[in-house]
């Protein structure tokens, strides 16, 4: 009897923990597109790098999951379903340390992380926005501003010929 | 008899091919440090990104093999033997395409590849240069300029406290 009670208690705990975990991860999705941070995205392969000056003033890396990288390398347009493109950005900061070595002010490096954006290809789910879902996360938390997320596709729309993706694959020598 | 001759011919071909392949790959090592391009380096994980203005005027990504990434994430100094850090660089070019969308000149992207550099940690082999071997490749070919390679370590030397490595790991939010 006692053994059954312990097993029952363990089972109940498991249910509670799973429910809790599920509700927590649901909390982490952006509105509109329902996208969560893809696990392990920081380990993805490099597509390219960029610097946005102006108000953004960041340094960025664009990474892709395996589906994205394969499509990029094969020049496949449109990108297949399952493609996820990640754009990581950091504040654009001068590096005193590096400048000292170069003997002049020329070195700009990644400061603190600003935000991370994702484009997720699902041609059925996101049919209304060219087959792409859009998401933005700051400090690991989803940007809950639905109005902001609505501005993503109109900006990408002019680039229909390249399946709404701006970033080119940085050539490998 | 005939069978033995064929086998002998195959064996001779194998020796010729192996010798040819070995001489080809030897051709691809930089002088001084004898480093070749590590296979698959373009698939390595991202350490950070940077922009060098001035004469270099490039955008760069720093990638690491698994040993490098583990050490970076654990804040391990000195880096263990087997660490390889890759620095890829591309010309820094304005993107008309992106600027059109932003409605202003602000976007700089990776143009053509300039060169790729590697730092290879082998504390015994490269004891005279802080345990690091240095290499530079352009268009997939080693930079044969030994005098240039001799300038690598003196530049990195001031950064002894961080095991002669300048690039910091770009934080993940």
Positive/negative CA dihedral, A41, A45, A48, A53: positive
Out of A50, A61, A98, the one facing B108 most closely (by C-beta) is A50
- A93 to chain B, any CB pair closer than 8 A? The answer is no
The mean pLDDT of A131-148, rounded to a whole number, is 96
Residue of A nearest to B154 (CA): A101
H/E stretch holding B99: helix B96-102
Rounded CA-CA distance B121/B124 in Å is: 9
By the 10 Å C-beta count (0-12 exposed, 13-18 middle, 19+ buried), A122 is classed as: middle
Q: Does the structure show a pLDDT above 60 at B20?
A: no
Contact flag B98-A43 (C-beta cutoff 8 Å) = no
Q: What is the pLDDT of residues A72-125, one digit of tens each?
A: 999 999 999 999 999 999 999 999 999 998 899 999 999 999 999 999 999 999
Q: Does the structure show a pLDDT above 90 at A169?
A: yes
pLDDT of residue B173: 76
pLDDT band at B1 (very low <50, low <70, confident <90, very high): very low
pLDDT of residue A128: 97
Q: Does the structure show a pLDDT above 50 at A20?
A: no
Pair B49, A90: CB distance under 8 Å: yes
Residues of chain A contacting residue B116, judged by C-beta atoms under 8 Å apart: 173
Residue B93 pairs in a beta bridge with B109
Token pair 């380990």 in the structure block, residue: A43
Out of B107, B113, B138, the one facing A52 most closely (by C-beta) is B107
Say what percent of chain B tops pLDDT 70: 84
Helix (H, G, I), strand (E, B) or coil at B43: helix
- What is the ipTM score, two decimals? 0.84
pLDDT of residue B10: 54
Arithmetic mean of pLDDT over chain A: 89
Q: What is the pLDDT of residues B33-81, one digit of tens each?
A: 999 999 999 999 999 999 999 999 999 999 999 999 999 999 999 999 9
């Amino acid at each position: 009897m006692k053994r059954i009670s312990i097993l029952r208690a363990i089972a109940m705990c498991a249910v509670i923990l799973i429910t809790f975990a599920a509700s927590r991860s649901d909390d982490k999705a952006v509105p509109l597109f329902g996208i969560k941070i893809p696990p392990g995205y920081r380990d993805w392969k490099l597509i390219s790098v960029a610097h946005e000056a102006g108000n953004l003033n960041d340094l960025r890396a664009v990474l892709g999951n395996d589906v994205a990288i394969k499509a990029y390398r094969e020049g496949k347009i449109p990108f297949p379903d399952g493609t996820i493109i990640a754009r990581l950005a950091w504040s654009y900061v001068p590096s005193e340390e590096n400048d000292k070595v170069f003997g002049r002010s020329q070195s700009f490096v990644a400061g603190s992380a600003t935000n991370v954006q994702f484009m997720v290809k699902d041609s059925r789910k996101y049919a209304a926005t060219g087959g792409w879902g859009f998401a933005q996360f700051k400090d690991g938390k989803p940007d809950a501003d639905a109005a902001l997320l609505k501005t993503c596709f109109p900006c990408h729309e002019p680039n229909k010929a390249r399946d709404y993706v701006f970033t080119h694959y940085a050539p490998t020598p």
